[in-house]
Chain A
Amino acid sequence: MSFTKILIIIISMVLVNNYPLAQFLGICPFLGVSKDIESSKGMGIAVTFVMVLATAVTWPIQQLLNKFGIGYLQTLVFILVIAALVQLVEMFMKKSMPALYSSLGIFLPLITTNCAVLGVCISNIDDGLNYIESLVQAFGAGIGFLFAMLIMAGVRSKIEDQSRIPESFRGVPIVLVTAAILSLSFMGFNGMFS
């Protein structure tokens, strides 16, 4: 596992295969929480943290499921593990890191139903990555999500004054148009790695 390989995985997850902008994963929080930079940062960091943690736990579990020949239980087991994990992290944070909890805590329950977290766990298995590669891919996916959230929040702060937007496009549609243009620009990274 060379350093270049790690770097390639991270860059490709952040730029080329960015989860919200190139793969349609984690769109709900991407559109919903990207109103201001502070909460985008909180959500992005919380998602990255849970992604790495969830991959660290679900990858060995999948090997265990495969060993017993019950790999088809993947979906069921993974989502329960993630839900339990998020609950544990929340309880742990509340008890021992109240400062961090007050900034990230409210995002944690929402992460259980964030498809990006379950998505990264399943695609790590589907791609046949080893343990280290899976962790790196999860980390890269989280950073990519954080990156997209921050850009989106920055752009949205510029369109806060909606008086110049056609009436029908105010609110949700203009955010979607913004996301479209953003993902268009991210398409420029396509083919960076073959």
Chain B
Amino acid sequence: MENQKSKLSILTNGLIKENPVLVLVIGTCPTLATSTSVETAVGMGLAATAVLICSNIVISAVHHFIPDNVRIPCYITVIAAFVTIVQMLLQAFVPSLYSALGLFLPLIVVNCIILGRAEMFAGKNGVVDSALDGIGMGLGFTLTLMVMGTIREILGTGTWLAGSWFGLAPASWKGIPILSNFIPGMSIMTLVPGGFFAFAIVMAAVHYLTRDKSKIKNDFGCAGCAMEDSCTDKSACAEKGAA
């Protein structure tokens, strides 16, 4: 809108430069909860990506008709509708993933990434750009989940890419043995503390790799907060570090 960004840069923006989880530090709950294995990580990532793309497209198409002061409830309604659709589709066609994601499937609706992109991007840009942004951000989210899932699965169970893969893998598929021939799995990595540890290591690695660019947020702050635009008291928000 303001400056014609190239379509490619919109698409790649979410992958690395503005990776929602690692750079903006939003959407941490599903990242930690569903990265116990690569399989659930990919499932969660794709489900959220599907919702993100659809809601971005719809919101960018209708945002001219939505009065400004009721836009957040309208966005939430659109997002919730798509989450319900994804929920029903998974329940019908991929019941194993549906039960593996459990509570976190309906909770996609409160995933800050989706509302955040609706507010920061789709509400201000055209349909095509918003769709590309949804794809980029969704893939960035999925990629981060896969990295986390890889670390936790290899350390936790010793294998990589194990699981039924939504019923596509043959029954004999047990994953690629990486560590399981040498040491037993450290099951702590698939439990809650392992999630925090793995995320801390990944974040520290990102800090290390980008240490010269100092683009990385050092703290939780206003950027990425879904309420940023409507926030009445930015100083208080920044002070309280509400993420």
Give A residues with C-beta under 8 Å from B: 21-29, 31-33, 35, 39, 72-76, 79-80, 83-84, 106-107, 109-110, 112-115, 118-119, 122-123, 126, 166-174, 176-177, 179-181, 183-184, 187
A65 to B238, CA, bound (A): 40
Are A79 and B109 in contact, with the CB atoms below 8 A? yes
The SS class assigned to the B binding surface is: helix
Which residues of chain A are within 8 angstroms of B195 by Cβ–Cβ distance?
24, 180
Asked if A113 contacts B112 (CB within 8 A), the reply is yes
Interchain nearest-CB distance for A160 vs B (Å): 12
Contact present for A75 and B243 (CB under 8 Å): no
Residue of B nearest to A113 (CB): B110
Closest to B227 in A: A109
A181 to B73, CA, bound (A): 38
**Contact A35 B240, CB 8 Å, known A24-B29, A119-B107, A167-B211:** yes
A-B contact pairs, 14 of them (CB 8 A): A28-B29, A33-B240, A72-B84, A72-B87, A76-B83, A80-B76, A106-B240, A113-B112, A113-B227, A170-B218, A171-B218, A172-B219, A173-B204, A179-B196
CB-based contact A106/B218 at 8 Å:
no
Contact A172 B227 (CB under 8 A): no
Q: Which 8 pairs show the lowest CB-CB distances between chains A and B?
A: A32-B243, A180-B196, A176-B200, A24-B33, A171-B218, A32-B220, A76-B80, A173-B204
Number of chain B residues whose Cβ lies closer than 8 Å to a Cβ of chain A? 56
Known: A119-B107, A173-B207. A75 touches B112 (CB 8 A): no
**A75 near B109 (CB under 8 angstroms)?**
yes
Let me know if B203 is at the binding interface, CB within 8 A: yes
Which chain A residue shows the least CB distance to B201? A173
From A22, A72, A106, A118, B192 is in contact (CB under 8 Å) with A22
Interface of A is mostly: helix
> Are A28 and B28 neighbours in the complex by a CB distance under 8 Å?
yes
For the complex, give the distance between the alpha carbons of A99 and B243 in Å: 24
- Inter-subunit contact A33/B242 (CB<8 Å): yes
Q: Which single residue of chain B is at the shortest CB-CB distance from A106?
A: B236
A171 to B214, CA, bound (A): 13
Given contact pairs A106-B240, A172-B203, A115 touches B29 in the complex (Cβ within 8 A): yes
Cβ–Cβ < 8 Å partners of B160 in chain A: none
**Cα-based distance from A172 to B210 in the complex (angstroms):** 14
Task: Please give me the residue from chain B that is nearest to A117 by CB atom.
Answer: B110
Name which of B73, B115, B191, B200 has the most chain A CB atoms within 10 A of its CB: B200
